[in-house]
Every structure is written in C-alpha cells, then in structure tokens.
Amino acid sequence: MKSSLREKIVIAAVLVSMLALSVSLISIATGAEPDVAVYLSTDKPYYTYGGSGKLYVTVRNEGPGPIAIRNISVTFPWFGWYNGGWDGNTTITDIEENTVDENATSQTFEVPFTVPAEGRPFSYHPHMVEVEYAWGEESAYAYAYIDIPVETPVTQSPNLAPILYLMGADTILLLLVIVALFYVWGSLRRPTPVSPAAFATG
C-alpha cells in the first residue's frame, strides 16, 4: 500500500516537472528575438541634382517566428533644416503586407526619393535606414547603410567651343607648314644636273 502510494507520488512529481519544463520551453521559444537583417539597393548607380529614384529595403527574417514591420525610417545624405523645416528624411508607417514569415523569408519595400535641385552640403557618410519590427508583444530595430552617389555637374564655358575650333585650325596649319618645310628641304638636297657643255674644253 505504501509502495503504491509512493509510486503515485513519484509519477505525479515527474508529470508536474515535465509540464513545467514544457511551459518553460514554449515560453522561451515564443519570447526569443528573431534574427532579422536588412539589405538595401537602388534603381540607379548614381543620380543627378533634381533627379528622382527608388530605394529598395529588403527585410529578411531567419526566425524564430514571424515578424510585423511597423515602420521604415530613412535619413538621406542631404538631410538638414531647410525652408523652415527638416528635409531629407522620411518615415513610412502605412505598410501593406507588412508580415515577414520565418524560415529565411524576405520582403522588399520601396521608398521613393528626390535629390534636391538646389545647392546643399551633402554628407559624405552613407545614409541610414532603420526598420522597426515586432514579434508578439515585443519590438526591436534593424539598421542598414548605403551610399547614394550624386553626379557633380561640369560647368562648360561659353567660349570653350571657339577655343577648341581655333586649336584645331592651328593644329592643321602647323601640319601644313611642317609638310611644306619638309618638301622645301627635300628640294634643296636634290642634286642639280650638270650640262655636258660645262666639261668641254676650248
């Protein structure tokens, strides 16, 4: 009788321990932060002043568990205080299909931008992209950086074309003079034929 009661107590203790362990493992699994990475690319290799472009933000989720993208914040190299307000940064909050599943699933989001047409001091550092994502009741941030090259315009003088034409004409004239001098020099070196009468004796 006592042995049977002791066995029941041991079995009950083992079951309670296993249940507690299962709850603990489930809790750890659901609370683990997903492994999230952000990759960036643009639609052009470089841009001009006043030109428009697109920035592609790819969010890759290795898990565990799916994530939901809350917002994407971008700070461009021309960010600063202009015309009475901050310009050169944007935050996208209204994101459709913002869920990124686990198991190496990725989702790409498009961020349009326009390079300022006026002169501004551009930062030479790559601009930053910040992605806020959530899993369960928790949230975190992932960051990435990319450079957006802007082509520097070359100022052309209005007198440049006439100068180039004049240089071309001078070059052609110089070549003609060299050819003429070479012809004259060759003529001077050519032997002059002597008449047989010059060798006749009187």
The full DSSP string for 73-132 is: EEEEEEEEEETTEEEEEEEE---SS-EE-TTTEEEEEEEEEE--SS-----SSPEEEEEE
With 70 as the cut, is the pLDDT of residue 173 above it? yes
What local confidence, expressed as pLDDT, does residue 30 receive? 52
What local confidence, expressed as pLDDT, does residue 168 receive? 81
Q: Where are the domains of the chain?
A: 31-146, 155-190
In this structure, are residues 123 and 77 in contact, taking their beta carbons and an 8 Å threshold? yes
Which of the pair, 19 or 39, is modelled with greater confidence? 39
Full-prediction pTM beyond 0.95?
no
The class of domain 31-146 in CATH terms is: mainly beta
Mean pLDDT score of the chain: 79
With 90 as the cut, is the pLDDT of residue 40 above it? yes
In this structure, are residues 143 and 149 in contact, taking their beta carbons and an 8 Å threshold? no
Q: What is the average per-residue pLDDT within 170-189?
A: 78
pLDDT single digits (tens) 70-121: 999 999 988 888 888 888 999 999 888 888 988 878 999 999 999 998 877 7
Structure letter (DSSP) for residue 47: B
